[in-house]
A and B are shown apart, each in its own frame.
Chain A
Amino acid sequence: MAGSNPNAKPMNLTLKVWRQKNRNTQGGIVDYQVKDISPDMSFLEMLDVLNEDLLRKGEEPVAFDHDCREGICGSCNLFINGRAHGPEPGTTTCQLHMRKFNDGDTITIEPWRANAFPVNKDLSVDRSAFDRIIQAGGYISVNTGGTPDANEIPIPKEIADRAFEAATCIACGACVASCKNASAMLFVSAKVSQLALLPQGHVERKSRVENMVAQMDKEGFGACTNIGSCAAECPVGISLENIAILNREFLSAKATSNNLA
């Protein structure tokens, strides 16, 4: 299959890595060499090799976020050679494997860049803006207990499937990172359309979209210009259709809600 080459030789690579001490200092690119990288390694395992090497030499390892390393937690977030999560479509950084690169390659690694995502250190950024957007309304207000039997609300399979697809967003921020406007519309729209599609979400439908969009703007994300970079780079394939649903929800909420504020 494409890209797979069991006999591929170990690779030597030049890494150009963004180093930045903390939020308040200027950063810059630093060059590193890594040797004997197996094509079967994941990209993060390659960085592990670099970091072990740096630590042994008494230099500070490169800080980067990661956790599950199976493409679902949304922690990893590297801008690799000018692309969010690197060159492979539909793939998080942790699932990107070195067999996609060649011996002698130079790889530039940068953090997500957006005003709303300040850098913590090196390649780690602060994505708490996403949490605050969800806190503004990305939920259905039900308390624990007292809910009706799960099968009392039949939901057409097609609707449930579409809601599920929107709900698979991992909040990695690749949409913001790759959008030239640093817009968070794909992220916001995924949650808004999941809950707008499901009958359970209809009760708070208007206030939800109004509040989430207001918070999104407050966080300093840009506006959507429908260029499609976000969906193209989204590792889990969240569709642009969600943004249209968000727009529709927003327009109809603004036109009909009783909210005068």
Chain B
Amino acid sequence: MSWITKTFSSSIGRKIVMAVTGLFLCTFLVVHLVGNLQLFNADNGAAFNAYSEFMGHNPLIRTMEIVLVLGFGFHIYDGLVLAAKNRAARGNQRYVVDHIEQNSSWHSRSMALLGSIVLFFLIVHLYNFFGSLRFTDVPRDANGNEDAYALVISAFKNPFYVVLYVIGQVALLYHLLHGFSSAFQTLGLTHRKYTPAIKYIGYGFSIIVCAAFAAMPIYFYFFK
């Protein structure tokens, strides 16, 4: 093994991969959210469809898509490896009585579970939109753009999807509440002056992003 693979397969190395990819995925969330805010435009989806068309065909975006897939891939793979190793490290005999809830928060201990829920949501989400847009012929709107907006409306007529999307965002919220500041800790980016701020920015980020995403299915279900 070279020093690189050794570094990134060590316990701290894997954590560094988790942190870097996690923060990268946070930037993706921002981009994705900003674009999707077009859904709230009162133009029957004209702006949203234009944005969607752009995202689907711009070469730079298409390249970044590969990076994004890699980001997800490493985050998920290392997450699963770490979860398995960490579980094994405890050994076969668990505590008969364990009150770990008295010394740590539930969501910080449940990152693998929360991540898995988010992953399930992500697969459904990709099937709903990305899959349809990329792999099937979608009707076009008045401007000649693929009518992604119509897909959104039809998907969120289904209460099952609405509930699933909201659950997905709640899971993401808790995942981020721990993950955001945890990534800084893992990268060693702590300082007595700045760490408290990072923590609060993390909270704010998680709540705003997830609330905004969750508002979309709810908005469409009730108002469209």
Contact = CB atoms under 8 A, between A and B. Distances in A.
Partners in one complex: yes
State the majority secondary structure of interface residues on B.
helix
B204 to A, nearest CB: 19
A183 interface: yes
A183 B15 CA distance: 13
Nearest to A84: B103
Contact of A247 (B12, B96, B97): B12
Interface in B1-28: 2-3, 6-7, 10-16
Contacts of B15: 223-225, 247
Contacts, number: 146
A223 B109 contact: no
B103 A229 contact: yes
Contact of B12 (A27, A213, A240): A213
Interface bracket on A? 35 or more
Contacts of B90: 113-115, 180-182, 222
A232 B89 contact: no
A226 B186 contact: yes
Nearest to A178: B103
A241 interface: yes
B43 interface: no
Interface bracket on B? 35 or more
Contacts of B96: 16, 18, 29, 108, 110
Contact of A232 (B3, B12, B104, B185): B104
B100 to A, nearest CB: 6
Given A82-B97, A226-B178, A244 B185 contact: yes
B100 A260 contact: no
Contact of B99 (A81, A181, A245, A247): A81
Given A250-B12, A254-B13, A223 B82 contact: yes
Interface string A222-248: 111111110011000000110111111
A226 B199 CA distance: 13
Interface string B73-84: 000000000100
Given A247-B16, A254-B3, A182 B10 contact: no
B105 interface: yes
Contact of B188 (A116, A213, A220, A251): A251
Contact of B10 (A114, A217, A248): A217
A250 B19 CA distance: 14
B88 interface: yes
A223 B91 contact: no
B58 interface: no
A226 B183 CA distance: 9
A24 to B, nearest CB: 13
Given A81-B99, A232-B104, 12 more contacts: A108-B96, A115-B89, A182-B90, A213-B11, A223-B14, A224-B186, A227-B104, A227-B108, A243-B185, A245-B190, A247-B185, A251-B187
13 contacts: A16-B97, A27-B93, A82-B100, A113-B95, A180-B90, A180-B100, A181-B86, A217-B10, A225-B109, A227-B108, A228-B104, A259-B3, A260-B3
Interface of A: 16, 18, 27, 29, 79, 81-83, 87, 108, 110, 113-116, 178, 180-183, 185, 213-214, 216-217, 220-229, 232-233, 240-241, 243-251, 254, 259-261
Closest 10 CB pairs of A and B: A248-B188, A82-B99, A222-B89, A181-B86, A223-B11, A232-B103, A222-B86, A244-B190, A182-B89, A247-B188
